[in-house]
Amino acid sequence: MKSVKCETNRRGFLIHLVFMGTGWLAAGLWCAAAFSQALPQVGVTLKTDDPVLQRLYDAAERAAQGNVVPFMGDVKALVEGGGYNSVWIETQPMGGAMYAKRNIEVALANQLIFMNCQRADGRLPGVVVSTKESLQNGWDKPDAKLGPGLVYLPPFKVTAYYAALSGYCFPSPALDVYYWIGRDRKYLERLYHALEAHDAYLWRTRDSNGDGLLELWCGFDNGEDNSSRIIGPPHAWPHEEPPVAGRADRPVPEGNRMPFQSMDVMAWSYEGRRVLAEISAELGNGREADWRAKADEVQRRLIAKLWRPDKHACYDRDKDGQFMDVLLHNNLRCMWYRAFTQEMADAFIRHHLLNPAEFWTPMPLPSIAANDPLFRNAPNNNWSGQPQGLTYQRAIRALENYGHHAEVTLIGEIFLRTVGRTCRFRQQFDPFTGEPDEVPQTTADYGPTILAVLEYISRMHGIHVDRQCVLWSGLPRGDHSVETTQRWGDRTYALRIADGQMTGSVNGRECFRATAGARIVTDLDGNPTQIVGISPETLNVVLRIGSNTHRCEAPPNTVWTIHKNGPPTLESRVPFDYPYREVDGTK
């Protein structure tokens, strides 16, 4: 190690970039005591006379707390859970951000961990193994023999894994956290450099044939563990060249079709560049237009090469450029990254997501369409068919990105009802019976399933603080009442749903009263700005703000702007094609 440069920002935690000559691009050091005092105090409560909802909520809260563990010294982080005691970049930046409403320090740690372990070439780790497990395995010893792609990082006493990209649910959650910690500029600058370097790494290495499409090299790259569509190299690929036949030291199995020209990896680059544009606007660094143009170019290539208009979906191509005719839920992942246009998202939802023969099985969202030849109803961490808790976790942002709020409600109702039967938070579910996958070697506390439960509750019967606004969702629970609070710094938001009404208040001051069943969006002070149709049924909404009364008819997936004087006006409306139906003999 030649030198370490650290810098203390105004919030009291040590952060900054240059680890020179060590092989890492960025290093972050943590002063937990000083930092925790600067963060806003947060917390969530929910009380209901619905015993099913209360039992599920309480169980999820307990299980989530059990996945918060020491990671780098005294730093607490949220691990994936359910037998996965490390942090994966496909789950835990997103998971940490979802947990922010309960613990901001944990939310931030789940972002910084990955930035801490970024390599000098820009590659972010796919997995980071905690200090405890790294030391238990003896990986800190000078003569330790680590497996391929594993690197022990002495400054943090953790082990980073670079043998697979392991997804990329990182840029947007990391930017969310920036707003929640008080728009700290040092954090934002660091995030900018991390995203810029990782995007450069992807285009330097993962377009191996120069055709302008980024590639998938192994099953762990995008988390499609044990998928029936992947015939090729081992799950991981710790090399910086693609898996091709002809090298004795890197044998590739017969039938390998990798590298895939991948919708996933293209969507990662689109997301990273889009967020870099947002960060540039916030920093005022003059790069916003450049990054937006770069993101648009990635989207254009994705559409031109992987989107099939006649099939209303994206499909990967194999190493020979031939389409792989496997209908994947990965299209929904692309929507999480906002890589689809509105028209593409609407088409995939209408033709595939809501189709009972494909993705709208009794327990929806199988990984491969249920009528696809490669669909397998296989248990035990297998992305060939069974719906995954991680897919339910991703589906919320994926659908909300395109205004499909009522579909979030449809999925949430099924998901909460199914998990609520047992309150066992398993990784997978049978798509036809909803039975959880009872794998003996894992525990029930799989983090993505736990967080998805808590997040669907917040989107249906609760409060969600977004970057600059608050979502108050008041779907009724039959004749039961629901009371929930969200503390955020010096504000306590409270929502009561009862007797056909929803009432929102801030610090005890009533801000609005409305017909239950809608979502009211307010600014951070509780001033209503929008009415959103989150119910699958059209709702006649009466909204009272002080002495003013506003009325509108809110069909599913409509957003209405509230005016101080005058009736609400329609801001946006996207299709709601449920239940599924065929039109003119076509799907």
- Residue for token pair 């801030």: 506
Q: What is the mean pLDDT of the chain?
A: 92
**pLDDT the model gives residue 584:** 55
Q: What is the pLDDT of residues 495-545, one digit of tens each?
A: 999 999 999 999 999 999 999 999 999 999 999 999 999 999 999 999 999
As a whole number, mean pLDDT of residues 179-184 equals 95
Given a cut of 90, is residue 585 above it in pLDDT? no
- CA–CA dist 330, 367 (Å, integer): 8
> Band of the pLDDT at 582, cuts 50, 70, 90?
confident
Percent of the chain with pLDDT strictly greater than 90: 86
Residue, of 249 and 310, whose pLDDT is higher: 310
**pLDDT recorded at residue 508:** 98
Asked if pLDDT for residue 16 goes beyond 50, the answer is no
Rounded Cα distance, 238 and 472, in Å:
46
Which of 110-119, 244-253, 492-501, 548-557 bottoms out in mean pLDDT, i.e. has the lowest?
A: 244-253
CA atoms of 108 and 249, how far apart (whole Å): 41
pTM of structure: 0.94
Pairing, β 307-308 against β 260-261:
unpaired
Residue 31 has a pLDDT of 39
Domain residue limits, the chain: 464-573
Residue-wise DSSP of 479-525: TB-EEEEEEETTEEEEEEEETTEEEEEETTEEEEEEEBTBEEEE-TT
Rg for the chain, CA atoms, rounded: 23
pLDDT over 60 (residue 51): yes
